[in-house]
Structure 1
Amino acid sequence: MRDYIRNCIRSHRCLSVFTVLQLTLMLSILEVRFQFHQSPQTQRPMTHVYVVGQLSELARSLLFSGFAMGAMFYGYGLIHLPIKGALGGVFSRLRITGLAVWQRCSPLMLLPWSMKVVQGLSRFPFHMWECLAKEPCLAADNFLWFLVLTALLWIHLVILAIASFVVAVRLNLRMLGARHIRSGNHELRAYAQEINELLGFEMIVMTG
């Protein structure tokens, strides 16, 4: 089962990264709120935990995750445009421009997603500070248990967010580095030059 999951992740790497990014973002957008209600049956207030999330905000999170995935596509996918036909010259220039922009700006594609995740994760400590400032919270029934459980979940979510960001950055750096081949082998240089000529632009950069 473990080997099957690994093979699925390797064969669908981009889809797996998008799923992790989107799941992390959606969980960070959801807001945990504590409310206290006085129960006539007990003298202590009752603690109620609510998970709040706006459907419109959850739907917009797909745009942030999709924008972040632009860092994992060579030239934002423009390199797959055909160069044959009447528009071949235009498409060729678009591919060259797209690859050049991606080479310089692709890490910045992760910035909006990161800011959105940080904004969502920062809500929990702020709400906890508001709850602790209220007098009845510590005396409320089961409040400390809910607080510890929610804090543990929040810590795990922070770890997931950091891991997701690291995976996305490493994949982006790996793709950036894959364009540059350092070798003094003349056969390899000739092979890379033939590929570049076939594509119509310098997809493989030979260094060294």
Structure 2
Amino acid sequence: MRDYIPKFVHLHCCLCVFTVLQLTLMLSMLEIRIQIDQSPQLQRPLTRVYLVGKLSELACSPLLSGFAMGAMHYGYGLIYLRTKGRLGGFFSRLRMAGLSVWQQCSPVMLLPWCMNVVQGLCSFPTHLWDCLAKEPCLEADHFLLFAVLAFLFWNNLLILAVTCFVVAVKLNLRMLGARHMRSANHELRAYAQAVNELLGFEMIVVPV
């Protein structure tokens, strides 16, 4: 089992990254709400905890995670298009254009995911502060317990979100750097140029 998990992650790296991005995004969209029930029938105020989320936003969340995955795919995956057949020239130009746009704009693909995660993470501290300021929360049953548990959940989610962002940025920078040939070895430069000629576009940037 110990060997199976690392092997699975290595073989399905993109799936694992997408799963973690999606899980982080969906958890951040679920808003934790703490309410104090002060019904006359109750001797003491009662603490109630709700998880509030919009189904429409949760349903659209895979699009944002998939959009973020575009930052970690060369040319948004267009370089894998086959150029054989009548439309070979068109597909070749499309691959070259996709790679050029990815080179310049790939970090922007992370912005929608980041904005939604940050918005979700910022809602809980604001709500908890308002709850502490307006309600007789300290007199409510189990308020401190629920507040601490909710804070721990939010704190772990914050760590997960920061980790996902750092991993995504590192993968993007690694792929951006892998395109550039820094070696002065003439054989490697000739090999890179041969690869570019075979593909039909400049996959590896060879300095003059």
TM norm structure 1: 0.95
What CA RMSD, in Å, does the superposition of the two structures yield over aligned residues? 1.4
Q: CA deviation at 1:207?
A: 3.5
Question: Which residues of structure 1 form unaligned runs of 5+?
Answer: none
Query: 2:30: which partner in 1?
Result: 30
The one-letter code sitting in structure 2 at the alignment partner of 1:36 is I
CA contact (8 A) 1:31 1:123 kept: yes
Query: 2: distance between equivalents of 1:184 and 1:117?
Result: 43
TM norm structure 2: 0.95
Query: 2:148: which partner in 1?
Result: 148
Question: Which residues of structure 2 form unaligned runs of 5+?
Answer: none
In terms of mean alpha carbon deviation, does 82-91 or 195-204 score higher? 82-91
Deviations 1:87-107 (A, max 9, x none): 111111111110000001001
In terms of mean alpha carbon deviation, does 136-145 or 156-165 score higher? 136-145
Matches of residues 75-90 of structure 1 in structure 2 within 5 Å? 75-90=75-90
Q: Which runs of 4+ in 1 moved over 4 A?
A: 39-42
Query: 1:70: which partner in 2?
Result: 70
Structure 1 residues 140, 131: CA separation in 2 closer, same or farther (over 3 Å shift)?
A: same
SS in structure 2 at match of 1:47: strand
In terms of mean alpha carbon deviation, does 125-134 or 36-45 score higher? 36-45
Query: 1:174: which partner in 2?
Result: 174
Matches of residues 9-158 of structure 1 in structure 2 within 5 Å? 9-38=9-38, 42-158=42-158
The one-letter code sitting in structure 1 at the alignment partner of 2:92 is S
CA contact (8 A) 2:22 2:61 kept: yes
Query: 1: distance between equivalents of 2:160 and 2:3?
Result: 22
1:163 aligns with 2:163: yes
The one-letter code sitting in structure 2 at the alignment partner of 1:162 is V
Q: CA deviation at 1:11?
A: 1.1
CA contact (8 A) 1:183 1:206 kept: no
The one-letter code sitting in structure 2 at the alignment partner of 1:201 is F
Query: 2:2: which partner in 1?
Result: 2
The one-letter code sitting in structure 2 at the alignment partner of 1:92 is S
The number of aligned residues is: 208
Deviations 1:10-64 (A, max 9, x none): 1111111101100000000001111222366752111111111121110111111
Query: 1: distance between equivalents of 2:145 and 2:73?
Result: 45
CA contact (8 A) 2:21 2:65 kept: yes
Deviations 1:117-146 (A, max 9, x none): 000011101111221122321211110111
SS in structure 1 at match of 2:82: coil
